[in-house]
Homo-oligomer: A and B are copies of this chain.
Amino acid sequence: MATLNRRITLAARPVGFPKDSDFNLVESPVPTPKDGEFVVRVIYMSVDPYMRGRMNDVKSYAAPVQLGEVMGGGAVGKVTASNHPTFREGDVVEGFFGWQEYAVSNGQGVRKIDPKLAPISTALGILGMPGLTAYFGLLDICDPKPGETVVVSGAAGAVGSLVGQIAKIKGCSAVGIAGADDKVAYLTEELGFDAAFNYKTESNYFKKLKELCPKGIDVYFDNVGGEITDAVLRLINTRARISVCGQISQYNLEQPEMGPRLVLVSLVVKQAKAEGFLVFQFADRYPEGLKQMAEWIKQGKLKYREDIEHGIENAPRAFMAMLKGRNTGKQLVKLSEE
C-alpha cells in the first residue's frame, strides 16, 4: 500500500491562461482517518471549467482556492480506511475530494456509488454534476417545447453533448457549435444532433447559424459566450430562453473583452430571458434528474464519451487542455485502478 499522497496545489494565481508553474505537485503522507472520518483512494478525478474561476482571488459562489492549497474538484474513489459509521472500507464514493491521490472526508457531500449500475466514472459525468447541469439547465431554465430549435455552444463537451441529446428527446431540433471537425461529426453522426458546425473553420457564425436554424432560435444553452453568442443573439425568436451555463471564452482574459452591446438590447426587442444558474440550485431534485438520465441511457437515448488522462502529475495538463476545448465528452484524470 502506498504511503505517499501526491497532490496538486495552487502555486500561483494565473494571469490570463493558466500555465504549468501555476500548479505544484507536492507529496505528503497518506492521511489516517480520525473519529467520524474515512480515507478515500481516488480512482477518477474531474477537471471542469468552473475551477478556473476558483483559481482567482475573487469572491464568487464558491470561495477561491488559497495559494498552497490542494486544487478542489469532484472525484470518485474507494474507501481504504474508515472510522465513519456509514462509509465502510471498500465502498465506492463520489465527493469533492480534490486533486490528490488520497483524501480524508467526514462524509459531507459524499454519496455512495453502486458499481453494478454503471461505470463508476459516470458519477463524474453523465450521472453526476455535468449530467445534472445539462438536465436542469436545459429543462428547468428553458422549458423547451417540441418543434423548437435549441442551439448549444461547447456542444461536444461533457454538458453540451447531453444538452443536445435531451433536446432531441424533447422533440426539438438540436444544433451544436463545437471546435473541431471530428467533434461536429460526433455530434451529428453519433449523438443525433440535427446539425453542427466547427466555429474554428467557419468565418461567418451568423450566416452559418441562419442556414442551420431556418426557423430562428428558441432556446440557447450557452457554455462559451463571446462572438458565438453574439451571432446567436441576432437570431433568437420572440420569447427565447437562454440558459447561461458558462462563458468559457471569457474566463482566461486579463481584462474583460469588448464586444457589441447586444445582450440586453436583444432581450428587450425579443422579450427574451437569459438566466445564469448553478446546478446546486437544484440539489433537492438530483434524484429525479439522475433517475431520468439513467433511464434514458438504458433506453439508448443518451450516449456519452469520456476523455481520460492518466496520473495526478498530468491533472494540470488535462485541465488546461479542457479549457482549450481539446476534449470530446467528459474530461477525467485516472489516478489509480478500480
Interfacial chain B residues near A60, Cβ < 8 Å: 269
Closest to A241 in B: B275
Bound: A12/B269 CA distance, A: 22
Interface stretch among A103-111, A160-168, A245-253, A291-299? A245-253
Q: With an 8 A cutoff between CB atoms, is A268 at the interface? A: yes
Bound: A53/B268 CA distance, A: 11
Those of A212-259 within 8 Å (CB) of chain B: 222, 225-226, 229, 238, 244-247, 250, 256-259
As a 0/1 sequence over residues 112 to 128 of chain A, the CB contacts with chain B under 8 angstroms (1 = contact) are 00000000000000000
Of B266, B269, B276, which contacts A61 at CB under 8 A? B269
Q: With an 8 A cutoff between CB atoms, is A265 at the interface? A: yes
Q: Which of A53, A246, A273 has the most CB of B within 10 A?
A: A273
Of B53, B256, B276, which contacts A270 at CB under 8 A? B276
Interfacial chain B residues near A273, Cβ < 8 Å: 273-276
Please determine whether B261 and A225 come into contact, CB atoms closer than 8 angstroms.
yes
Of B259, B262, B269, which contacts A53 at CB under 8 A? B269
Q: With an 8 A cutoff between CB atoms, is A29 at the interface? A: no
Closest to A280 in B: B271
Q: With an 8 A cutoff between CB atoms, is A264 at the interface? A: yes
Please determine whether A271 and B267 come into contact, CB atoms closer than 8 angstroms.
no
Q: With an 8 A cutoff between CB atoms, is A278 at the interface? A: yes
Bound: A61/B266 CA distance, A: 11
In the complex, how many angstroms separate the beta carbon of A323 from the nearest chain B beta carbon?
A: 16
Q: With an 8 A cutoff between CB atoms, is A4 at the interface? A: no
Please determine whether B272 and A275 come into contact, CB atoms closer than 8 angstroms.
yes
Closest to A141 in B: B273
Q: For the complex, would chain A's binding face be called helix, strand, loop or mixed by DSSP majority? A: mixed
Please determine whether A276 and B271 come into contact, CB atoms closer than 8 angstroms.
yes
In the complex, how many angstroms separate the beta carbon of A336 from the nearest chain B beta carbon?
A: 34
Please determine whether B269 and A262 come into contact, CB atoms closer than 8 angstroms.
no
Q: With an 8 A cutoff between CB atoms, is A281 at the interface? A: yes
Interfacial chain B residues near A281, Cβ < 8 Å: 271
Q: With an 8 A cutoff between CB atoms, is A260 at the interface? A: yes
Known: A244-B267, A268-B276, A276-B271. A260 touches B258 (CB 8 A): yes
Interfacial chain B residues near A275, Cβ < 8 Å: 267, 271-274
Q: With an 8 A cutoff between CB atoms, is A26 at the interface? A: no
Query: Can you report 25 residue pairs joining A to B where beta carbons are below 8 Å apart?
Result: A53-B269, A60-B269, A225-B261, A225-B264, A247-B261, A247-B265, A247-B268, A256-B265, A257-B260, A257-B261, A258-B258, A259-B259, A263-B263, A264-B274, A268-B277, A270-B276, A271-B275, A271-B277, A271-B278, A271-B281, A272-B275, A272-B276, A273-B274, A274-B274, A274-B275
Interface residues of A (CB under 8 A from B): 53, 60-61, 222, 225-226, 229, 238, 244-247, 250, 256-278, 281
Known: A256-B261, A259-B260, A267-B276. 12 other contacts (CB 8 A): A60-B269, A244-B267, A256-B260, A256-B262, A258-B259, A258-B260, A258-B261, A263-B274, A268-B276, A269-B276, A271-B278, A273-B274
